[in-house]
Every structure is written in C-alpha cells, then in structure tokens.
Amino acid sequence: MARSMRSFISLSIVFTLFLTGACSSTSTSPTTPATATPATTTETFAGTVAQLATTGNPFSVSANGPVTIELTSVEPLATMGLGVGIATWDGTTCGTAIAKNDNARSGATALNGTATAGSYCVTVYDSGNIPEGWTVSFSVQVIHP
C-alpha cells in the first residue's frame, strides 16, 4: 500500500504542475507605436541688409515639426539687434509674416515654434538699428524638418 500511496502522491504532484502550467498565461499590454521624430535639416543663409531694408531666403519644411531660427553673426557690430521673421513663400516672394522678432541678437534663438510642411522664407530686416549709410552683413541659421 505504501507503494501505491507514493505513486498517487507523485501523480498528484505531476498533475497539479501540469494544470498550473496549462492555466498560466502571459498577457501583454497593447503598445502604441512610437511617433518618429522627423530628421532635421540645418540651412545657413548669409547676406547684407541696409537701413530700412529687408532680405529674404526661401526654405522648405518637409514634415510637421519644430523650427528654430538664429542669427549666427552680425557685422560690423556683433551686438546690433536686427529684425528676423518667418513668412510664407509663394515661389517668388515672401508673403505675410507669420512671426517676427524686431530685436534678434547674434548667438541667441530669434524664433522657434512648430511649422507644418510647406514653403517658407526667413527674413532679416532693419528694425531701426542700422545707421544711415551702413550695410550690415549677417548669417542666419534655420533648423527644420
């Protein structure tokens, strides 16, 4: 009888382990696909602007995403404030300003925000700081998708 009792206990343990394994399940939570951050492009434009003048350079945003515009140099007076703006581009001219900063400084972010895919232009202009007869050289950087 001892032998049949051991067999019964052994079978009970094996059966219990079998049922436990058969009843266990692995549950996974549904995951939301990661939103890919669009690759960014850095464009640098250089030019000159005279008193009361404006100059513009077109660029294209390939996907919705962040845009940052910064004056990277201003000469002959590096501390001079210039106007920096972003506007629509129709293929020929800069349109109405979307945003502007009348006192942008070299080495600091002039404008940042989110743009939808499309054609734009960055403008640099005299906001009243360029003396008569001066021509100011500048470099402006646009980072966008």
Give the pLDDT confidence score for residue 38 in this predicted structure: 79
Residue 123 lies in a domain: yes
Cβ count near 2 (within 10 Å): 6
Beta-strand relationship, 135-144 and 41-50: antiparallel
**Residue 44 to residue 61: CA distance in whole angstroms:** 14
Sheet with strand 94-104: strands edge to edge: 54-61, 118-125, 82-89, 94-104
Residue in the structure block whose two tokens are 């232009």 = 121
Look at residue 116 in the predicted model and tell me its pLDDT. 96
Domain residue limits at 98: 41-144
Please provide the average confidence, as pLDDT, over all residues in the chain. 84
Q: Say whether pLDDT at 21 is over 70.
A: no
15 in any annotated domain:
no
- pLDDT for res 34: 61
Q: Would you say 86 and 99 are in contact if contact means Cβ atoms under 8 Å apart?
A: yes
- For residue 32, being part of any structural domain is answered with no
Rounded to two decimals, the pTM is 0.74
Asked if pLDDT for residue 138 goes beyond 80, the answer is: yes
Tell whether 2 is covered by a domain.
no
pLDDT tens, position by position, 89-125: 999 999 989 999 999 999 999 999 999 999 999 999 9
Q: What is the CATH number of the domain that holds 71?
A: 2.60.120.380
Neighbours of 58 (CB within 10 A): 18
Longest dimension (CA), the chain: 117
Domain count within the chain: 1
